[in-house]
Structure 1
């Protein structure tokens, strides 16, 4: 009986933490850093400010947890795209790169949250660490996919392609009508055609 109650309580706690993280991402996206505070987050989550402090040491901890959760979510999306592409190394590489131009990565709310995270990473050591780890992991997986395609200097090529994808994603997120998702995919495919053996 006690085990069932503890499992229920833990699920409930996990759901509350997740709800606060999702609310924080939404507030960051809607109001930016200036409008992100305990009251706005708790209003969005439909909870009292005391509950936030029950699960997180403060807003800085919650924002860091939100960045980590968002990074983990993106990693999972890219991994799913690669797995869905099958066994062909070139198709897997393409799927990894072009997932950035498809939902849910193209969700407009993600841009607002992501730019807030980038801004915080410039002056907050914990956020900088999350950023460094996230991007290092992305580039490592990309480098492995490039190596499977017999790419020379896969590490540097991963840096180049990451910057290209980030730039296209940012422009597409700011103005979807400027060139469109399919044009972004085509640009990445053309770049791969020129860069790979």
Structure 2
């Protein structure tokens, strides 16, 4: 007579289910951490506030992350990973055309899943602590390096024989412009919106990289057409 323990394949299946449940619970706590930071700030976010936000016991939070420091480090890593997955997905969808790739990278920064009040609150809460917490700075540097490399590669394809230093500077300017709008959207949400910030960033990129200016104008015209059709419905 077989039992769940002796049935072939039962133990691996049980282990898989346990891992899936553990992964789900861990992500549930990370999602709750973002909400707690957005509501309470970084300093007042604790294992208790996160557990309450997740609807779990504080003991569960301690089991998965051991301490507040460990929880916040993993929350930042997870936040960056989602950001990177977003721009990598956009870059892949753009195909092999470097003009479309540049536009896709810029658009990804203003995607509503990435550029929203809660997400911006989390970014700025952590960035304000980076000079005091080396682990935050290390995570930021790791993920920022991948993004910078992608932007430089696309600019390099578009700018042809331009010196490497000029290509790197142009890529940095574009990302810095996006960062500036993120700050304005976070600090002055009533004065700016993501769509106008996206438009201005694209136009600026067209000035810096004239090779893509025409394609950007076409993209913006298409955006305006879609917005007009939505208003007319």
Q: TM-score scaled by structure 2?
A: 0.79
User: For structure 2, which runs of at least 5 residues remain unmatched after alignment?
Assistant: 1-9, 212-233
Compare CA radii of gyration and give the structure with the larger one: 2
Q: Which residue of 2 aligns with 1:145?
A: 154
Q: Is the 8 A contact 1:86 1:92 kept in 2?
A: yes
Q: Which residue of 2 aligns with 1:95?
A: 104
2:177 aligned to 124, 142, 164, which one?
164
**Which one is further off, 118-127 or 81-90?**
81-90
Aligned residues: 197
Query: Tell me, what secondary structure is at the counterpart of 2:128?
Result: helix
Q: Tell me, yes or no, if structure 1 residue 84 matches structure 2 residue 84.
A: no
Cα deviations by residue, 1:46-98 (Å, 9 ceiling, x for unpaired): 11111112111211111000100000100111112222233321111111012
Q: Which residue of 2 aligns with 1:18?
A: 27
Q: Is the 8 A contact 1:106 1:173 kept in 2?
A: no
User: For structure 1, which runs of at least 5 residues remain unmatched after alignment?
Assistant: none
Q: Tell me, yes or no, if structure 1 residue 35 matches structure 2 residue 44.
A: yes
Q: Which residue of 2 aligns with 1:45?
A: 54
Q: Which residue of 1 aligns with 2:167?
A: 154
Between the aligned partners of 1:136 and 1:87, the Cα distance in structure 2 is: 22
Q: TM-score scaled by structure 1?
A: 0.93
Query: Tell me, what secondary structure is at the counterpart of 1:106?
Result: coil
Aligned CA RMSD, in angstroms, stands at 1.6
Q: Tell me, yes or no, if structure 1 residue 193 matches structure 2 residue 206.
A: yes
Between the aligned partners of 1:92 and 1:171, the Cα distance in structure 2 is: 25
Q: Which residue of 2 aligns with 1:69?
A: 78
- Say which structure, 1 or 2, has more relative contact order (CA 8 Å, 6+ apart): 1
